[in-house]
Structure 1
Amino acid sequence: MLIADRLQKTFADIQAVRSISLALPPGRIVGLVGASGSGKSTLLSLLAGLLDADSGEVSLNGKRVPGPSEVLVAGHTAIRLVHQEYQLMPNVSLRENIAYAVRFYEKEYQRFRVDELLKLCRLEAVQGHLPRQASGGEKQRTAIARAIAEKPAVLLLDEPFSHLDLPNRTLIRDLLFDLVRQEQTACLFVTHDATDALSIADEVGILQTGHLIQLGPPVVVYRKPITAYAARMTGPANIIRARHLPALGLAASYHPDACFCLRPEQIHLSVEGIPATVRAVFFKGSHFEVEAEVNRYVRLRLLTTRMDLDIGSAIQLQIAEDAVWWLK
């Protein structure tokens, strides 16, 4: 179990991490979502023991993880951080990059473990390639394989999906899901795209200007975001002020400037309902995303599989009262 207790870090006059506490149990995945500059990479460095905290501490299985100023070599042997840039050795093969992590073990075990990791990470066909000959997905999988080669207690990943195309993103997501359960590793990754976090994480956290403003199961964080920022960081969201709720047939006893979140999939087309006009239609493959105008102040995004909607079409919307979630 890796535990962070009220971590804080300031650079000059910028508070990068502000009193963050969280726990990483073995065999579980935590995904942290935040915009650029929200403190994601700084937090990873603190958790990995690669950066000294101004206050607070990190502990692994009840023992404090020292910062770089307290040890000869920065970092912790049971905590592995995979950087966004992969940091592979450029002039040796992908297999040799992985083997380097277990170089102090017996030759027989080295071969066994490297073969096992190549199979797990689906790199057998390209194991002889140099990093410059490998795709982004292959380099990312190699970096992960190297990081877990010694079976660390904790795996930390910095934006593991950011440079990947859709097929490789899916492959890396599946890989993380499988290896965390198989190796019983505690895993935390940071990302600016909530899609990946929501799909595989056991818990999702929202980082904003160094604060961990929300942490919980993916379904709860998605359906009940705490702020408008949290709502937007976790997916498409209609943010509506209380004064405009009556136009949607909804009552509100809140202050007129109070904000509410309504997810696109919670708005349905119906035979009778709230009149609206289609202003835009976006094809998303399995469905269409539609922008509908209720009045000059209210435009809503909704999802539908209907194929007969065009710009200017008159439609009727139906919204359940309990679908609207109040934001702080």
Structure 2
Amino acid sequence: MLSATKLTKSFSDVHAVRTVSFTLEPGHIMALVGASGSGKSTLLNLLAGLADPDTGDVRLNGERIPGPSDVLVPGHPDIRLVHQEYQLMPNVTIRENIDYALRFFEKNYREFRVNELIKLCRLTDVQDRIPRHVSGGEKQRTAIARAIADKPAVLLLDEPFSHLDLPNRLIIRDLLFDLVRHENTSCLFVTHDATDALSIADTLGILRSGKLIQLAPPVDVYRRPATAYAARMTGVVNIIKAKHLSLFGLTEPENSDELICLRPEQLKLDEAGVKGTVQAVYFKGSHSEIDVTFSRYVSFRLLTTRDDVRINQQVGVSLTETALWRLKS
């Protein structure tokens, strides 16, 4: 079990990480989502023992993870961090890159383990190529294979999906599932895009300016975000003042300036609904997102599977559910 307790880290007057605490259970996937500059990479370095916290500590199974000021070689043998740049050896093959991580093991086991990892990470067809002759997704999978070669307890990933096209993103997503299932490895990754985090994480955290503002199962963070920032970081959302609920015939709450979170799927096209004008249509394949304006101050984005909606068309909109979520800020 990996635990962080009140971690803080500052660089001059920049507070990169501020009193962050959480626990990652064995065999679980945790995702931390935040905008650029929210402290994601700094936090990973603290967790991996590659940077010293100003206060707080990191523990693995109850034992404190030492930082660079405590050891000659920074890092921990049971924690692996995969950087965005992959850091592969450029002039040896994919297979040799993975094999190098097992160089202190007996030869027969090393060969068995490399074969196992190549199959697990879908690298069979490119194992004899050097890194510059493979795709970004294949480099990413090689870096992961090398990181888990000696079966660490914790795998940390820095923006694992940021440079990948959709097919490779899906392969990496499936790979993380397989790692947890077959290797019993705990996995924590940071990202600025919650799309993949929502689908594979057991626990989802929202980072803002170094502070962990929400930590819960993905469905709870999506449906009941703590703040407007958390709502926007986890997907498309309509954030309106409570006074505009009267548009749908709902009773206006006492605090008319209170913020309300409405996801696009909570609205639907309905001929009997409130009339508005379509301002934009974004085709997404399985559905379209459309922006509908009702007044100078009120505009909503909603989902539809209809393919006959056009810009400037008059449409009716109604709420599919009245369970509205009120935001703190």
Per the alignment, residue 114 of structure 1 pairs with 114
1:1-328 matches, within 5 Å, as 1-320=1-320, 322-328=322-328
Instruction: After TM superposition, give the deviation of residue 316 of structure 1 in Å.
Output: 1.2
Label 1:90 to 1:222 Cα distance change in 2 as closer, same or farther (>3 A): same
CA contact (8 A) 2:268 2:320 kept: no
Distance 2:60 2:158 in 1: 20
Pairwise CA RMSD of aligned residues?
A: 0.9
Instruction: After TM superposition, give the deviation of residue 315 of structure 1 in Å.
Output: 1.3
Q: How many pairs were matched up? A: 328
Distance 1:254 1:101 in 2: 62
CA contact (8 A) 1:28 1:181 kept: no
Deviates more, 1:139-148 or 1:248-257: 248-257
Instruction: After TM superposition, give the deviation of residue 249 of structure 1 in Å.
Output: 2.4
Instruction: After TM superposition, give the deviation of residue 321 of structure 1 in Å.
Output: 5.6
Deviations 1:78-126 (A, max 9, x none): 0000001000011111111100110000110110000000000000110
Deviates more, 1:75-84 or 1:277-286: 277-286
TM-score (norm 1): 0.98
Distance 1:14 1:20 in 2: 15
Instruction: After TM superposition, give the deviation of residue 280 of structure 1 in Å.
Output: 1.0
Deviations 1:174-202 (A, max 9, x none): 10011112111111000000001001000
Residue type of the alignment partner of 2:228: A
Residue type of the alignment partner of 1:84: Q
Deviations 1:280-317 (A, max 9, x none): 11110000111001111111000000111111222111
Residue type of the alignment partner of 2:28: R
Distance 2:182 2:321 in 1: 43
CA contact (8 A) 1:29 1:200 kept: yes
Distance 2:312 2:209 in 1: 41
Instruction: After TM superposition, give the deviation of residue 254 of structure 1 in Å.
Output: 4.0
Gaps of 5+ in 2: none
Distance 1:53 1:90 in 2: 33
CA contact (8 A) 2:243 2:253 kept: no
Residue type of the alignment partner of 1:284: K
Instruction: After TM superposition, give the deviation of residue 325 of structure 1 in Å.
Output: 1.0
SS class of match (2:72): coil
TM-score (norm 2): 0.98
CA contact (8 A) 1:27 1:184 kept: yes
CA contact (8 A) 2:266 2:321 kept: no
Gaps of 5+ in 1: none
Distance 2:319 2:173 in 1: 33
Distance 2:116 2:181 in 1: 16
Residue type of the alignment partner of 2:256: P
Deviations 1:40-79 (A, max 9, x none): 0000000000000000000000111111100011000000
SS class of match (1:316): strand
